[in-house]
Chain A
Amino acid sequence: MTLADPLGPQIRALFAALDHAGDLEAGPSSGDCRLVSGEAGREELGTRVRFALRMAGGCVQAVRFRAYGCPHTLATCEWLARTLEGRPSGALNPGSPLDWARQLDVPAAKLGRLLVIEDALQAALARQ
């Protein structure tokens, strides 16, 4: 992030490839396959995020999100989805919005939006 480019290359790259945007099917029914989801925010406040995670075989098999918001919001959702996929379900601590902001070079003015992402993710994880 620079004065000339307040977004930074990482945010731009993630925003350009929102590969994890979408929904999850429940998947083939098996004993330990579960689909959990959580949502937070409102469009009229600038940010709304929904996460869906498919847990199977003791790990996060797939993550998808849907989001309305600024580029930092969409890029952070994509980054979290990539980060969480494949992790053991017992070690899912995604870190805090401050950690994400540091990792992705998100400006302090956008921290409120990352808090909405955290709320959506926590709502999903609370259901696992």
Chain B
Amino acid sequence: MTVAAPVYLDYAATTPVDPRVAQAMSECLAPSGSFGNPASQHSYGRAARERVEQARGQVAQLLGTAASRLVFTSGATESNNLAILGTARAAAAAAAGKCGHIITARTEHKAVLDPCRRLEQDGWRVTYLTPDSRGLIDPAQVRAALSRDTVLVSIMHANNEIGVLQDIEAIGSHCRERDVPLHVDAAQSAGKVDIDLAHWPVELLSVTAHKLYGPKGIGALYVSPGRRARLQPLIFGGGHERGLRSGTLPVHQIVGFGLACELCSEERTSEARHLEALRARLWQALSAIGDVLLNGHPTQRVAGILNVSFPGVEGESLLLGLPELALSTGSACNSDSDEPSYVLRALGRDTELAQSSLRFSLGRFSTERDVDEAANAVRREVERLRAVAP
């Protein structure tokens, strides 16, 4: 007897590699593929370089920008670190070592919060904005927090736990008025919603391949014209990526990243419609259980993420009682901890509600059957655990 694989509802943690992407990567890794070092001057190197630049163009097209403005990194965590620490170090160097001020939000991913905390240890001042109860940062909050020594604002586009989308254009226009660069962590939104860097008031933007059906271990940082000179690299050794990120470029991963972005460019609109329909179906079924709460803004959100609290049910127990589903209580990057979600706490949810939440994240390969199976399993387990509760 074979055991059916759990229904995958954790696309916000990572997506499976699209088979078309896997095929392209596999071809690249074959002896006849583009295995050369893109920095080499011989024909193998030139062939590899060509594939890298083609992929850079595909990523750039998805983001509405020029290929020359992208720096390949190992993923969004590195991109965020490069944007935040790189900007801070360059600013300090330009100000004779003086530390400045950074603005971010309490609901950011740890890949933004941890570099900010690191800077605080070095003497930097960091303002952590609190969102409203739906998870939104009011652009006026950013404007009010800007001060004369602010060197960077870092606000994510789509939240990884609740899927809420921030108004990046409004936030960025306040930053532009004060000539402060805006960094956006777009790991959860790239490939899912429209990003138009040609028109957005954004100086730095982080993306990663493994959230958009590409491979793990590859991402990019968009650096606006003029910002490159005000960004210090974090990794040295060869001066790759025009000095901002040394290290031999992983051609097969970059090729996969590029194709994944191209597929998102082509299929994003229809995919978003598909996911919105599935999310609505899931929410309708879950809300029928009774006494359930949606976390985050009901409409200003990416299509695939649904975060729900089940009062009276502890999240870790709920998760264990759902072996037929693969999902998270919150951020996968944080799930070793049994602390309640800091994102939900920042929205004002009490500890009990924050502990009772599940994040359902749907994706390209999700089906109505998956959603129905998930809703039935959650109903069964919520009812069982509520019956056990005092």
Q: Residue on A with the closest CB to B354? A: A44
Contact of B390 with A49 in the complex, beta carbons under 8 Å? yes
B342 to chain A, nearest CB (A): 15
Contact of A74 with B388 in the complex, beta carbons under 8 Å? yes
**A54 sits at the interface (CB 8 A):** no
B 313-357 contacts with A by CB, 8 A? 313-314, 316-317, 320-321, 338, 340, 350-352, 355
Q: Given the known A-B contacts A44-B351, A46-B355, are A21 and B387 also in contact in the complex, defined by CB atoms under 8 Å? A: yes
Chain A, interface SS category: mixed
* Distance, CA A64 to CA B384, complexed state (A): 15
Contact of B320 with A43 in the complex, beta carbons under 8 Å? no
Contact of A70 with B316 in the complex, beta carbons under 8 Å? yes
* Distance, CA A54 to CA B227, complexed state (A): 73
Q: How many of chain B's residues touch chain A, expressed as a range?
A: 10 to 19
Contact of A18 with B355 in the complex, beta carbons under 8 Å? no
Contact of A18 with B388 in the complex, beta carbons under 8 Å? yes
**B181 sits at the interface (CB 8 A):** no
- With beta carbons under 8 angstroms apart, the residue of B314, B320, B387, B389 that contacts A7 is B320
A contacts with B, residue count (CB < 8 A): 23
* Selected A-B contacts with CB under 8 Å, 13 pairs: A18-B384, A21-B387, A21-B388, A44-B350, A44-B351, A45-B351, A46-B314, A46-B355, A68-B312, A68-B313, A70-B317, A73-B317, A109-B338
Please give the residue numbers on chain B whose beta carbons come within 8 Å of chain A beta carbons, in ascending order: 312-314, 316-317, 320-321, 338, 340, 350-352, 355, 384, 387-390
Please give the residue numbers on chain A whose beta carbons come within 8 Å of chain B beta carbons, in ascending order: 7, 12, 15, 18, 21, 39, 43-46, 48-50, 66-71, 73-74, 109-110
3 nearest CB pairs, A to B: A66-B390, A21-B388, A68-B389
